[in-house]
């Protein structure tokens, strides 16, 4: 029967809450299996269309000489009508007698899988359409796989276009048998398989007279049996920190409770880090403050003790804390245009945590439509895989089956999300491998590729000062970094060398060799060496061709360097006490095209270091496989 807002009976008070909680339902299935038509028909038959909408669409169709289709009601954008495919998720509101719904009309076209994921991730139930005439297709299977990954457990399968198979119960039974076996292999089970003809509204809202053999529910009856997503309030507290506010005298820890509940007076542990404090007050505006904040609530918490807390940490109770580690095994769906590859650095986002991570290993890539697993060294777009993820820093997480919200994550590059995954198993770091340790493995463990950063410039130009700050910043960011300093080398390895052209060349060669060894070990090597001759520097670059190489020209005019004269060398050189001193009695050949050019006479050390760090960041984030040794 048809329902509309105006004919709704007054709901008993006890059902008021249920009635007001809108349920999100995603509609998925293979392209052309009738999703948009179905939703259009559903809206029409539940009397949920705005006045005049139907007439408007009919008029538009007539004006363009097209036959009216229910799908046009939804496909509001011109492009969609031309291509006859739904480009993005649209959200449609309607209600039955029982409650309000938001229908997400997710597209079935393969190209738009990322939109299907976006739609399905916010749904608590799914309707999956299969064309009775065409049968189970590639996307019918792929979408079910994704639903299982996204954690959508409530599913009704609609066997559509029954009018094209003469309402045949036998055809229906065949599809039910085939598809329920597939669902079972994913650990999914459909609540119902409903035979429908969406175009004609059969078994959508009204029971079909042509399918008298069908004794089960109509679509709206089935929808009304869905329950809201599991309430996570009974799970242990998980409160990821979104921010720390200091707008006035208060210091407020802000975040959304993702699982469990929090009350003032409770002791909190912030992971990673493990610092503890007690929740003192909730600072709700305009007040009065709540006495408990449960799952889904945005909390504003002050602490009794002012410990260091930052965005990304997860607050929990001491008795049931999340795991903390850098490595886990995950099942991942990949939507990126570029394949997912080991040796490339991604950003891993888990709630408010955002850290760099690499794929330490691709265990298998699964064909989402056949569930066959194939070994592969990269994961192409729109496929599903199992991988070992290794973060550069420890993160707090749970396994997906323990707590879904802290057991799933997204992978991004350049601010754009390319994939998501659920955590299956925590791993202790450095699992056993076999054979020679490869550069890729070192990169995976370090979380970044190695590099050589070569600082050249006059004595006193500030090479070591800038390099020391760069080293500090990289080290604090969790990078493997080491400085190879010209003066240190001269005190040891190069003790036998003087300042003749030949000795300078040998000194540069040795410094390059030392830097190469460090880079092979996975380090970012910061070399500080005057290296006055372009030819020597070119040889060093060539010798280190296996690694990303950044030449930094630390530039300050001779007068400035001489005025600084930190080591008193210029004074000695001017007096003739040091022979062949670069800039005074020996030439310095200015680099022609250094990767970075810093002016220490005009910029602060911080600015110079920032310039160098940006160049390093580009290398660490940007390059692909070319790091292989």
Partner 1 sequence: MSRTAQNDHLTRLEQTSMHIFREAFANFRSLCMPWSMGKDSNVLIWLARKAFCGKIPFPLLHIDTTYEFPEMYEFREKARAIHGIDLIVRINEDAIRRGVGYATHDPVTVTHELKTVALKQALAEYKWDALVTGIRRDEDPTRAKERWFSPRTADSTWDYKDQPPEFWGQFASVAPEGGHIRVQPLLEWTELDIWEYIRRENIPNPTLYFSRNGKRFRSLGCHPITHPVESPASNIDEVIEELRRTKVSERAGRAQDHVGRNSMQELRAKGFM
Considering only residues 11 to 40 of the shown chain, the ones binding partner 1 according to CB under 8 A are 17, 20-22
Binding part of the chain for partner 1, among 77-85, 324-332, 371-379, 435-443 by CB under 8 A, reads 77-85
CB nearer partner 1, residue 87 or residue 191: 87
Build a one-symbol-per-residue string for 309-328: x at contacts with partner 1 by CB under 8 A, - elsewhere: --x-----------------
Considering only residues 388 to 417 of the shown chain, the ones binding partner 1 according to CB under 8 A are 405, 408-410, 412, 414-417
Give backbone dihedrals phi and psi of 277, rounded to 5 degrees, phi first: -160, 175
* Residue whose C-alpha is closest to residue 543's, from 530, 554, 527, 563: 527
Pick from 2, 55, 60, 189 the residue near partner 1 by CB under 8 A. Answer: 60
Binding part of the chain for partner 1, among 49-57, 382-390, 571-579, 612-620 by CB under 8 A, reads 49-57
CB nearer partner 1, residue 241 or residue 481: 241
H or E stretch covering 159: strand 154-160
Pick from 284, 488, 506, 565 the residue near partner 1 by CB under 8 A. Answer: 284
Q: Does 420 bind partner 1 (CB under 8 A)?
A: yes
Give backbone dihedrals phi and psi of 449, rounded to 5 degrees, phi first: -75, 160
CB nearer partner 1, residue 294 or residue 486: 294
* Alpha-carbon dihedral sign for residues 345, 350, 355, 361: negative
CB nearer partner 1, residue 104 or residue 444: 104
Cβ of residue 63: shortest distance to partner 1, in angstroms? 9
Binding part of the chain for partner 1, among 166-174, 205-213, 219-227, 237-245 by CB under 8 A, reads 237-245
CA 183 to CA 186: how far, in whole Å?
5
Contact (CB, 8 A) for 530 and 456: yes
CB nearer partner 1, residue 65 or residue 286: 286
What the block records as the tokens of 460 is 């006193």
Q: Does 92 bind partner 1 (CB under 8 A)?
A: yes
Could you please report the per-residue DSSP string of 498-564? -SSHHHHHHHHHHHHHHHHHHHHTT-EEEEE-----HHHHHHHHHHTTTS-EEEEEEE--HHHHHHH
CB nearer partner 1, residue 251 or residue 490: 251
Question: How does 244-271 read in b/e, with b if 16+ C-beta sit within 10 Å?
Answer: eeeeeeeebbbbbbbbbbbebeeebbbb
Beta strand 549-555 with 451-456: parallel, antiparallel or unpaired? parallel
Q: Cis omega before residue 421 (within 30°)?
A: no
Cβ of residue 117: shortest distance to partner 1, in angstroms? 6
CB atoms within 10 A of CB 122: 14
Contact (CB, 8 A) for 159 and 188: no
Considering only residues 421 to 480 of the shown chain, the ones binding partner 1 according to CB under 8 A are none
3-state percent breakdown (helix, strand, coil) of the chain, nearest 5: 30, 30, 40
CB nearer partner 1, residue 122 or residue 603: 122
Could you please report the per-residue DSSP string of 282-334? E--SSSPPPS-B-TT-EEEEEESS-----TT-EEE-TTSPPEEEEEEEEEEEE
CB nearer partner 1, residue 44 or residue 443: 44
Q: Does 492 bind partner 1 (CB under 8 A)?
A: no
Considering only residues 330 to 389 of the shown chain, the ones binding partner 1 according to CB under 8 A are 335, 349, 351-352
CB nearer partner 1, residue 208 or residue 353: 353
Q: How many residues bind partner 1 (CB under 8 A)?
A: 72
Q: Does 293 bind partner 1 (CB under 8 A)?
A: yes
Contact partners, residue 291, CB within 8 Å, separation at least 6: 263, 264, 282
* Alpha-carbon dihedral sign for residues 6, 9, 11, 12: positive
Cβ of residue 581: shortest distance to partner 1, in angstroms? 46
CB nearer partner 1, residue 28 or residue 466: 28
* Residue whose C-alpha is closest to residue 398's, from 292, 316, 298, 278: 316
CB nearer partner 1, residue 408 or residue 537: 408
Cβ of residue 146: shortest distance to partner 1, in angstroms? 11
CB nearer partner 1, residue 215 or residue 337: 337
CB nearer partner 1, residue 111 or residue 377: 111
Considering only residues 119 to 148 of the shown chain, the ones binding partner 1 according to CB under 8 A are 121-122
* Alpha-carbon dihedral sign for residues 456, 459, 461, 465: positive
Cβ of residue 329: shortest distance to partner 1, in angstroms? 18
Pick from 49, 136, 389, 609 the residue near partner 1 by CB under 8 A. Answer: 49
Considering only residues 523 to 582 of the shown chain, the ones binding partner 1 according to CB under 8 A are none
Cβ of residue 327: shortest distance to partner 1, in angstroms? 20
Give backbone dihedrals phi and psi of 302, rounded to 5 degrees, phi first: -100, 155
Q: Does 618 bind partner 1 (CB under 8 A)?
A: no
Helices 138-150 and 113-121 cross at an angle (nearest 10°) of 40
Contact (CB, 8 A) for 192 and 180: no
Pick from 54, 61, 84, 88 the residue near partner 1 by CB under 8 A. Answer: 88
Cβ of residue 356: shortest distance to partner 1, in angstroms? 15
Cβ of residue 256: shortest distance to partner 1, in angstroms? 5
Build a one-symbol-per-residue string for 150-189: x at contacts with partner 1 by CB under 8 A, - elsewhere: x---------------------------------------
């Amino acid at each position: 029967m048809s329902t509309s807002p105006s004919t709704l009976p007054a709901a008993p008070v006890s059902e008021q809450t249920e009635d007001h909680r809108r349920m999100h339902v995603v509609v998925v299935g293979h392209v052309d299996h009738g999703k948009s038509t179905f939703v259009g028909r559903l809206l029409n038959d539940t009397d949920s269309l705005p006045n005049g909408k139907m007439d408007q669409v009919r008029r538009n169709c007539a004006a363009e000489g097209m036959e009216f289709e229910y799908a046009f009601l939804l496909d509001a954008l011109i492009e969609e009508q031309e291509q006859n495919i739904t480009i993005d998720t649209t959200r449609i509101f309607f209600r039955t007698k029982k409650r309000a719904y938001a229908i997400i009309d997710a597209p079935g076209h393969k190209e738009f899988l990322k939109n299907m994921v976006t739609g399905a991730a916010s749904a608590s139930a799914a309707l999956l359409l299969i064309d009775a005439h065409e049968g189970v297709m590639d996307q019918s299977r792929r979408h079910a796989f994704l639903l299982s990954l996204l954690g959508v457990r409530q599913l009704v399968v609609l066997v559509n276009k029954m009018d094209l198979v003469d309402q045949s119960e036998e055809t229906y039974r065949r599809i039910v048998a085939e598809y329920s076996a597939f669902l079972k292999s994913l650990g999914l089970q459909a609540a119902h398989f409903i035979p429908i003809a969406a175009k004609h509204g059969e078994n959508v809202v009204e029971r079909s007279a042509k399918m008298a053999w069908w004794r089960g529910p109509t679509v709206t009856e089935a929808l009304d049996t869905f329950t809201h997503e599991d309430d996570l309030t009974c799970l242990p507290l998980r409160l990821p920190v979104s921010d720390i506010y200091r707008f006035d005298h208060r210091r407020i820890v802000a975040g959304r409770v993702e699982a469990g509940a929090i009350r003032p007076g409770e002791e909190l542990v912030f992971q990673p880090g493990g610092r503890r404090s007690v929740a003192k007050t909730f600072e709700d505006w305009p007040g009065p403050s709540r006495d408990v904040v449960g799952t889904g609530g945005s909390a504003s918490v002050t602490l009794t003790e002012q410990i260091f807390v930052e965005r990304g940490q997860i607050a929990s109770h001491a008795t049931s804390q999340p795991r903390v580690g850098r490595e886990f095994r995950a099942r991942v769906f990949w939507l990126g245009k570029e394949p997912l590859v080991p040796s490339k650095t991604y950003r891993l986002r888990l709630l408010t945590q955002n850290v760099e991570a690499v794929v330490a290993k691709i265990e298998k890539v699964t064909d989402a439509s056949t569930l066959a697993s194939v070994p592969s060294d990269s994961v192409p777009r729109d496929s599903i895989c199992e991988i070992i993820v290794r973060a550069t820093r420890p993160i707090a997480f749970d396994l997906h089956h323990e707590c879904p919200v802290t057991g799933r994550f997204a992978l991004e590059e350049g601010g754009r999300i390319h994939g998501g995954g659920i955590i299956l198993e925590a791993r202790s770091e450095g699992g056993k491998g076999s054979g020679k340790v490869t550069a890729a493995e070192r990169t995976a463990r370090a979380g970044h590729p190695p590099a050589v950063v070569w600082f050249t410039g006059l004595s006193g130009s500030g090479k070591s000062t800038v390099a020391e700050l760069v080293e500090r910043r990289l080290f604090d960011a969790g990078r493997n970094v080491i400085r190879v300093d010209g003066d240190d080398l001269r005190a040891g390895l190069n003790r036998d060398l003087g300042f003749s052209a030949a000795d300078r060349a040998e000194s540069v060669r040795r410094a390059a060799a030392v830097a190469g060894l460090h880079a092979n070990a996975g380090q970012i090597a910061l070399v500080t060496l005057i290296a006055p001759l372009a030819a020597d520097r070119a040889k060093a670059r060539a010798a280190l061709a296996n690694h990303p190489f950044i030449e930094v020209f630390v530039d300050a005019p001779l007068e400035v360097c001489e005025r600084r004269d930190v080591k008193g060398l210029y004074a000695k050189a001017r007096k003739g006490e040091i022979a062949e001193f670069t800039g005074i009695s020996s030439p310095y050949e200015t680099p022609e095209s250094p990767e970075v050019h810093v002016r220490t006479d005009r910029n602060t050390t911080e600015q110079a270091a920032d310039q160098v760090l940006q160049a390093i960041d580009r290398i660490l984030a940007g390059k692909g496989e070319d790091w292989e040794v």
